[in-house]
Structure 1
Amino acid sequence: MRQTWRWFGPKDLVSVDDMMQAGVEGVVSALHHVPTGAVWTPQEIAQRQAEIGRMRDGSASGLAWEVVESLPVSEDIKKQQGDWRAHIDAYKQSLHNLHAAGIKVICYNFMPVLDWTRTDLAWRLPNGATCMRFDYTDFAAFDIHILARPGAAEEYPAEIAAEAAARAARMNETARGALARNVVFGLPGAAENFTLEDVRAHLAEYSRITPQRLRAHLVDFLSEVAPVAQALGLRLCCHPDDPPFTLMGLHRIMSTEADYSAVMAAVDLPANGITLCSGSLGARPDNDIPGMMDRLGSRVHFLHLRNVLCETDSIAGSFHEAEHLGGGTDMVALIAAVLREEARRRDAGRADCDIPMRPDHGQDILDDLGRKAQPGYPAIGRLKGLAELRGIMTALSHPVEGLRR
């Protein structure tokens, strides 16, 4: 497992120097300032590589940009409207430019409108740390009473809708604004920052797109770009929906093992693969994540290792970001499955036998609380998670452990 770290560029409050001290082997980054649908030029790619390659004092970091997260898929592509064909052409050109720069792994997602969704970006835990949280009732209050989406109240259980109404009635304008900003925060550093009117406009357009049609659009996109990636020796990997259930009437089509199996079968190329995110998939109690790694592992090109604690047994419900070893996913079982897959790849002579992973998200602890880095991406909280994951990897890979098997 190749240890990587997500970096949002020069404005990231967690620096290249910090990554160096964390002891990571590679960097995950993206050109968030480039508008979605535009080509990532060789010049822009080279600039980001240079930024990753040097420390504050100008000395070489020895780190390289190894994984793209994300090369975004435009709303026009997802809806197959407007400039969607031109955007696909731009996507292909970006793949060629990334290949020329030596970058081989490209993560993307196909979530409509919003990337990830939370209602609280700094929820206080009993020990004083903070984490991101998705409160289903707060989200219902936003959907029904702030966004005022037509018919929204009927889509929630009656008890959730009733409590959402009570909460909304208690909110002043400041609280309503804060909740709305949290919900539409989306991808940190992204070029788009949606307003409520933007969200309403997108929802109106997506209301005409069934889950089957949305999946067909994903397959159409992959039918165009996956052969290009395959010819170039690149690995595309689709990130799961976050959260992995319907929001605001928006269909989620990459939330379960069955979803991934269907899309992998529809475009059956090794380049068409998976970003297995244990946090996103773990927010749905019926997902067996170690089992998914065992069954779909040959197409897993990138790993996000994090944990969430579901606060209900319902498929759609509240959850919060837990410590890496403290949520609902059995991280030891998951890493064991990853190591088995890597062993299979080595036996088969595959060049990609070391799957890149990153400690995804983390709780804000210690100095993180004052640093105020990107929500979900603290320095110390992620380092703590990485240390815990390293411990499992080291123990499961140790010769003494091998003798016990």
Structure 2
Amino acid sequence: MIPDLVQTFRWFGSADPVTLNAIKQTGATGIVTALHHIRAGDTWSLSEIEKRKSVIENSGFKWSVVESVNIHESIKIGTAERDHYIENYKETLKNLSQAGIDMVCYNFMPVLDWTRTHLDYRLPNNASALRYHAPAIAAFDLYILQRENAFSEFTVQQQQAAKIYLGSLTADEKELLINTVLAGLPGTDEVFTIDEFKAYLEKYSAVDERRLKENLCYFLKAIIPYAEQLGIKMCIHPDDPPFPILGLPRVVKNEADLTDIINMYKSPANGLTLCTGSLGANGANDIPGIIDRLGQHIHFLHLRNVSREADGSFYEAEHLTGSTDMFAVMKGIITEQHKRHEAGRTDLAIPMRPDHGHKILDDFNYNTYPGYSVTGRLKGLAELRGLELGIKRMI
């Protein structure tokens, strides 16, 4: 019998307005979390890991996936200090393994995690969604950040649209755009200043896509053999959005990149997080095809949807609507489960979480992390749960 996907919810710890008691009512059985209070590059101690794990288990959950053990920028840039931070990373993996945690999601995006321009984009039903508005990011890049050589990366039409957009903003709206684009890592309130971000761009001045991919390969060759020895599955998250922005390269943006990463060090420990929202922001990404061809390497699922627009903009749609065919995605995942069963694999129950969610109903009464409202994600989880059940009954 093919087991259900493991239904999980992301939780940001005790400071998260979405409590474990609230998550319990969604039907999720697994928690996806990280020690967000520990700086990127520092080692997670066994005592800190066990403290978080105890809170989760005492509430009736399993800590299913770590998301994320963030990678220090020196590793991405390839500085002399990277070996030190790789050793710290390995020590964290060892401590996670000792605590019985065996799956780590991570990303290799330079400086910024996922990037949006609007955190309160209102839909026709007045639900609040996250949005990436291409003219807004161009306005920020060209006229606020004033990045060197930026004009060469935008067409005349894009430059004109950016200027018109910037001219439409009040001073407060301009400040909000800056703070939204330069937000730091999920689970933190960190926002870079313009000068701080420019300093990072200077550090990345010699790091193009080829160099960044080489640095990722260096990291994987050091980490994956050790993770395999520990019994930990590493699963890289795609870039969000899956194309270069603000002069920073992207190396986890499409099927070719994902294939390259798998081939950098072939191991069951070297796997993928399939994020249908991140990959779905680029219409050239054939997500059902990626599942068909690379499904054996998928360890973790982020299921959400985006609605793409002609100019490269997108907003986060309901989980079963938008530009990605979620029926085809779920059918592909279930087909992959059958393939694993036939191959004698035991990792059939893949962890899945409803990634992001609209603010709806009383979500507006809570200051949750962007995309991580409880009722909106509950709605998404319920829809995905029903879709999974329907397809399984059908086939």
Identify the TM-score tier after normalising by the shorter chain: over 0.9
SS of alignment partner, residue 25 of structure 2: helix
Matched with 1:33 is 37
* Structure 1: 5+ residue stretches without partners: 55-60
Q: Deviations over 1:147-184 (max 9, x none)?
A: 11112122112111112112223333322110000001
Aligned 1:211-222 pairs, distance under 5 A: 211-222=209-220
Between the aligned partners of 1:103 and 1:336, the Cα distance in structure 2 is 28
Partner SS, residue 344 of structure 1: helix
Match of 2:48 in 1: 44
Distance 1:86 1:350 in 2: 36
Match of 1:232 in 2: 230
Mapped to 1, the partners of 2:295 and 2:327 lie a distance apart of: 16
Distance 1:226 1:166 in 2: 48
Q: Do the aligned partners of 1:34 and 1:191 also contact (CA within 8 Å) in 2?
A: no
Q: Deviations over 1:238-257 (max 9, x none)?
A: 00000001101111110000
Q: How far did residue 192 of structure 1 move? A: 5.0
Counterparts of 1:92 and 1:240, CA distance in 2: 22
| Partner in structure 2 of residue 20 of structure 1 | 24
Rounded Cα–Cα distance in structure 2 between residues aligned with 1:161 and 1:193 = 26
Provide the residue aligned with 2:283 in structure 1: 285
Aligned: 1:94 with 2:105: no
Partner of 1:80: 78
In structure 1, what is the Cα distance between the partners aligned to 2:241 and 2:26? 29
Given that 2:179 and 2:191 are in contact with CA atoms closer than 8 Å, whether structure 1 keeps it comes out as no
From 176, 184, 187, the counterpart of 1:189: 187
Shift of 1:345: 1.5
SS at match of 2:31: strand
In 2, the alpha carbon distance for the partners of 1:372 and 1:209 equals 37
Normalised by the length of structure 2, the TM-score is 0.97
Which TM-score applies when normalising by structure 1?
0.94
Alignment partner, residue 332 of structure 2: 337
Partner residue of 1:349 out of 344, 348, 352? 344
CA shift for structure 1 position 92: 0.4
Q: How does 1:4-403 map to 2 (within 5 A)?
A: 4-54=8-58, 61-190=59-188, 193-312=191-310, 317-398=312-393, 401-402=394-395
**1:392 CA displacement:** 0.8
1:49-91 Cα distance to aligned partner (Å, 9 max, x none) = 122233xxxxxx2202110000101111000115211100000
Number of residue pairs the alignment of both structures matches: 391
In structure 1, C-alpha distance between the alignment counterparts of 2:269 and 2:361, rounded to whole Å: 41
AA of the residue aligned to 1:30: A
Percent identity of paired positions between Structure 1 and Structure 2:
47
Paired residues of 2:42 and 2:85 also in contact (CA < 8 A): yes
Moved more, 153-162 or 299-308: 153-162
Contact 1:230/1:271, CA 8 A, preserved across alignment: yes
Q: CA deviation at 1:296?
A: 0.2
Distance in 2 (CA, whole Å) between partners of 1:178 and 1:385 is 28
Q: Residue by residue, what CA displacement relative to the aligned partner does 1:358-385 show, whole Å, maximum 9, x if unpaired?
A: 0000111111122231110111110000
Q: 1:34 Cα deviation (Å)?
A: 0.2
Structure 1 Cα separation of the partners of residues 333 and 343 of structure 2: 15
Contact residue 256 and residue 287 of structure 1 kept, 8 A: yes
Given residue 321 of structure 2, which amino acid in structure 1 is its aligned partner?
Answer: G
Cα distance in 2 for partners of 1:91, 1:394 equals: 38
CA RMSD of aligned residues (A): 1.2
Measure, in 1, the Cα distance between the counterparts of 2:319 and 2:256: 26
SS of 1:242's partner is coil
CA distance in 2 between counterparts of 1:264 and 1:188 reads: 26
| 1: CA distance, partners of 2:120 / 2:327 | 27
Q: Secondary structure at the match of 2:263?
A: helix
Q: Deviations over 1:179-229 (max 9, x none)?
A: 000001132223854222121011112121121111000000000000011
Query: Partners in 1 of 2:132 and 2:160 — Cα distance?
Result: 18
Give the Cα separation in 2 of the matches to 1:178 and 1:193: 11
d(CA) in 2 for partners of 1:351 and 1:308?
A: 32
